[in-house]
Amino acid sequence: MSDMMQRARDLDAADAIAHFRHRFDLPEGVIYLDGNSLGPLPKASRERLHRVIDAEWGEGLIRSWNELPGGGGDWIAMPQRVGAKISPLVGAKPHEVIACDSVSVNLAKLIGAALSLNPGRNVVLSEPGNFPTDLYMIQGQPQVEQRLAGRDEMIEALDESVALLLLTHVHYKTGEMFDMERLTKAAHDVGAIVLWDLSHSGGAVPVDLNGANADLAVGCGYKYLNGGPGAPAYAFVAERHHGDFSQPLTGWFGHAQPFAFSDEYEPAEGVKRLLAGTPPVLAMAALESGVELIAEIGMEALVAKSRALSEFFRECVAGLDLDLVSPREPAQRGSQLSFRHENAYALSQALIARGVIGDFRDPDILRLGFAPAYLRFADIAEAARHLAEVLETGEWERDEYSTRAAVT
Ligand SMILES: *Cc1c(COP(=O)(O)O)cnc(C)c1O
């Protein structure tokens, strides 16, 4: 056994959260370094979905909105209940978070909310290279003027015309992390509202929305929270704004009394106002069990292991000719390592053929995610060995590894 594999075994033996791996259904022969894109299936989610389908939908039918067969949490309060379970993972209070819609749709709602909190201003400031949907949602608002500034110019670009600073906390491609507290304060100093996209943060890195005095946030349910493909996202509005904000998607579920069926819209209290339509119960149930599992493991242990895993990978590949684009300091990056390589796509395909699933981000990034809830140090040593072999043998140069699929 190699030295690194021996070390990996020792680290696994000392890992206090190692046993949580068995709570996931992971396919044989796969080392999954893509939990930052789609988290794997928690065993409890399979059971939960069967129960929702057979008992709650099949037997309970419409009665399950109010009361489940055999008791338990009803359907109608799912968005608030799941939001409350997410809240401690991101440093929020239970009534400040709600689970609903996609990140994209919640961005549209919260950009609108920010404008409602900051009337008279119309500039939304973000960074070039932010996750596309964040920029597209800014561009889709007819009354908004988009301003983009690089990381080094961000604070300078904040002035009294800025209504909203919209940033992704952990960059999806590079894993770079913004200093949430510092930027939030800089934005507040010029009277701007801040909206943090936590898609690559929630369940992976320490987030303290209230500690940073954040205003608004969104986050993804299907990445580190393991909520399943297309899982609902979550949205946060700080309590101090609950009385004042409005949002443009004024659907009936965000009404103060949806079942009064009145003609006039009257917003519900707090984050409930962010709801638009009927919650997708099956998807919400899967998200709930994913979130419960992450909450059970606990952020402190997850963060410590995430850092240890990625640092161990760095050690394992130290001798290889790889260009790390993620910050070297673990506390300054998300739970991922990204490497720049001219043939990153072919490299990622050659790794997938060996059962090491990471991903490629256009144009030249090989991105490896180190989700701490289920990965072993032994997986890390193995993945590093495969990467070394693929590079050394030039295996990635095979034709079959350069044809692109629709989803990369
Ligand atoms: C994954 C991700 C999203 C996803 O948006 P959806 O609308 O849920 O598809 C948005 N923003 C960032 C930064 C992401 O990483």
pLDDT tens readout for residues 63-118: 999 998 877 789 999 999 999 999 999 999 999 999 999 999 999 999 999 999 99
Tell me the per-residue pLDDT of 221-278, one tens digit each, with 9 for 90 and over: 999 999 999 999 999 999 999 999 999 999 999 999 999 999 999 999 999 999 999 9
Do residues 221 and 325 share a domain? Answer: no
How many domains does the chain fold into? 2
- Alpha carbon of 132 to ligand 1 centroid (Å): 8
62 touches 313 (CB < 8 A): no
pLDDT at 375: 98
CA distance 27 to 394: 27
* Residue 335 lies inside a defined structural domain of this protein: yes
Q: Do 287 and 366 reside in the same domain of the chain?
A: no
Where a domain ends, among 271, 296, 321?
296
User: What is the atom index within ligand 1 of the atom nearest the CA of 106?
Assistant: 7
Structure tokens at 272: 């409930």
Residues 257 and 118 reside in one and the same domain: yes
- Give per-residue pLDDT as tens, 1-14: 789 999 999 999 99
Helix 299-316 / helix 281-297 crossing angle, nearest 10 deg:
80
User: Per the domain annotation, does 408 fall within a domain?
Assistant: no
User: Which pLDDT belongs to residue 402?
Assistant: 86
Q: Give the atom of ligand 1 at the shortest distance from the alpha carbon of 223.
A: 1
Question: Quick check: is 366 in a domain?
Answer: yes
Alpha carbon distance 218, 235 (integer Å)? 4
Q: Is residue 37 part of a domain?
A: no
**Mean local confidence (pLDDT), 333-344:** 96
Residue in 130, 136, 199 to alter for ligand 1 test, most ligand atoms within 8 A of Cβ: 199
Question: Considering only CA atoms, which of 357, 361, 385, 382 is closest in space to residue 371?
Answer: 357
The Cα diameter of the chain in Å comes to: 72
Are residues 380 and 339 both part of a single domain? yes
Based on the fold, state whether residues 140 and 81 are members of the same structural domain.
Answer: yes
Give the residue among 232, 275, 249, 215 at the shortest CA–CA distance from 141.
Answer: 249
Q: Would you please indicate which residues are annotated as catalytic (active-site) residues?
A: 131, 197, 222-223, 367
Q: Residue 87 falls within a domain, yes or no?
A: yes
Predicted local confidence at residue 408, as pLDDT: 77
Nearest CA among 3, 9, 23 for reference residue 295: 23
Question: What pLDDT sits at residue 270?
Answer: 97
What pLDDT does 186 receive? 98
Indicate whether 273 and 369 sit together in one domain: no
Q: Whose structure tokens read 């079942």?
A: 259
Angle between helices 78-86 and 281-297 (to 10 degrees): 20
For residue 406, tell me if it sits in a domain: no
Pick the closest to residue 35 from 245, 147, 202 (CA basis): 202
H-helix or E-strand spanning residue 197: strand 193-197
Nearest CA to ligand 1 atom 6: 103
The alpha carbon of 55 and the centre of ligand 1 are apart by a number of angstroms equal to 32
Sequence-distant (≥ 6) Cβ neighbours of residue 155 within 8 angstroms: 183, 186
- The answer on pLDDT for 407 being more than 90 is no
Name which residue sits closest to atom 1 of ligand 1, judged by CA.
Answer: 199
pLDDT at 69: 84
Q: Is residue 19 in a domain?
A: yes
Q: Output the residue whose Cα is nearest ligand 1's atom 10.
A: 103
Give the residue, by CA position, lying nearest to ligand 1 atom 14.
199
| Amino acid making up residue 146 | Q
141 has pLDDT over 80: yes
CA of 199 to the centre of ligand 1 (A): 6
- Based on the fold, state whether residues 9 and 118 are members of the same structural domain: no
State whether 100 and 178 are in the same domain: yes
Model confidence at 288, in pLDDT bands (50, 70, 90)?
very high
Q: Are residues 314 and 330 in the same domain?
A: yes
Q: Provide the token pair at 238.
A: 């700080």
Closest CA to 165 of 144, 119, 196, 140: 196
The answer to the question of residue 166 being in a domain is yes
pLDDT for 102: 98
Dihedral (CA of 295, 326, 380, 24) sign: positive
Which residue, 370, 373, 391, is CA-closest to 381?
A: 370
Mutate to test the pocket of ligand 1, among 101, 172, 196, 287 (most ligand atoms within 8 A of CB): 172
Burial class (CB in 10 A: 0-12, 13-18, 19+), 132: exposed
Statement: residue 405 has pLDDT above 90: no
Give the type of residue at 199. S
Domain region containing 291: 47-296
Whether pTM exceeds 0.85: yes
Q: Is residue 196 a contact partner of residue 169, using CB atoms and an 8 Å limit?
A: yes
Query: What are the residues facing 361 on neighbouring strands?
Result: 365
User: Pairing between strand 336-340 and 323-324?
Assistant: antiparallel
Share of the chain above pLDDT 90, in %: 93
CATH number of the domain encompassing residue 315: 3.90.1150.10
Q: pLDDT at position 44, please? A: 98
**Same domain, residue pair 210 and 63:** yes
- Rounded distance, CA 187 to CA 173, Å? 24
With the most atoms of ligand 1 within 8 angstroms of its CB, the residue from 107, 111, 131, 207 to mutate is: 131
* Residues within 6 Å of ligand 1 by CB: 102-104, 131, 133-134, 168, 172, 197, 199-200, 220, 233
Of 266, 296, 326, which marks where a domain is finished?
296
- For the chain, percent helix, then strand, then coil, each to nearest 5? 45, 15, 40
Q: Mean pLDDT across the stretch 121-126?
A: 98
pLDDT at 406: 79
Q: How far away, in angstroms, is 102 Cα from ligand 1 center?
A: 8
- Of 267, 296, 325, the position where a domain reaches its end is 296
Query: Do 274 and 384 belong to one domain?
Result: no
Does position 33 have pLDDT exceeding 80, yes or no? Answer: yes
Atom of ligand 1 nearest to the CA of 104: 7
CATH, residue 51:
3.40.640.10
Smallest CA-to-CA distance from 352 within 98, 53, 34, 66 is with: 34
For CA atoms 214, 125, 121, 269, give the dihedral sign.
Answer: negative
Q: Please indicate, yes or no, whether residues 308 and 290 belong to a single structural domain of this protein.
A: no
Closest CA to 220 of 194, 195, 236, 198: 198
